[in-house]
Amino acid sequence: AFVEQTGTLELVRSAIFDNDTHKRGGGIEVRGTLNAINSTIASNSSYWYWHPSSIIRYPGGLVAYGTGHVTLDHVTITGNSEGDLYADVGSMIELRATIIGFKCSGDLTGVHSLGHNLVGYQTCNLDQPTDLQNTLARLTGPIPSSPTTTYEPLPDSPLIDA
């Protein structure tokens, strides 16, 4: 999905799953506004040809550019190529009760925690005492279910009773 500078995408109880693009953000590239609630962005990939003899890879999950504004509430972003979340200079990303399975990258000064988030391999600039950082979520693989593909915590997941 691509959200243009003046556009807005409301993603509710949805999955952006198993996409591949020759541009940035195999799942979602945001230059406008994205509000995602109870959704999954997983198993996406992206790559960009910089030169015929080389391939540049970009995060496959969610990429926020320029003045992109992203709000994630109870969202799982995991299993995407080259990382799950990328924040460009000037973008703003707010996270609440969200799982970033692998890592965040880019300019993380615009990433703000509203609490109860989990990040697998980095801190993503999260500063709330309820955030779990450098902690693996311990999720099942993708489970096709109605109405969307989901991931569930394994019995020993730190998400249980968090």
| DSSP class of 109 | G
Question: What pLDDT does 144 receive?
Answer: 74
Which residues are CB-contacts of 8 (< 8 A; sequence separation ≥ 6)?
32, 33, 34, 35
Q: 103 in helix, strand or coil?
A: coil
The tokens of 92 are what?
């703003």
Q: Is 146's pLDDT higher than 70?
A: no
Region 69-77 average pLDDT: 96
Q: Residue 55's pLDDT band (boundaries 50, 70, 90)?
A: low
The model carries a pTM of: 0.89
Question: What pLDDT does 52 receive?
Answer: 64
* Mean pLDDT (the chain, rounded): 87
Region 25-31 average pLDDT: 86
Share of the chain above pLDDT 70, in %: 90
Q: Is 74's pLDDT higher than 80?
A: yes
Angstrom distance (rounded) from CA 52 to CA 71: 36
Question: What pLDDT does 51 receive?
Answer: 62
Q: Is 58's pLDDT higher than 80?
A: no
CA distances to 49, 58, 81 from 37, rounded to whole Å, are 33, 24, 22
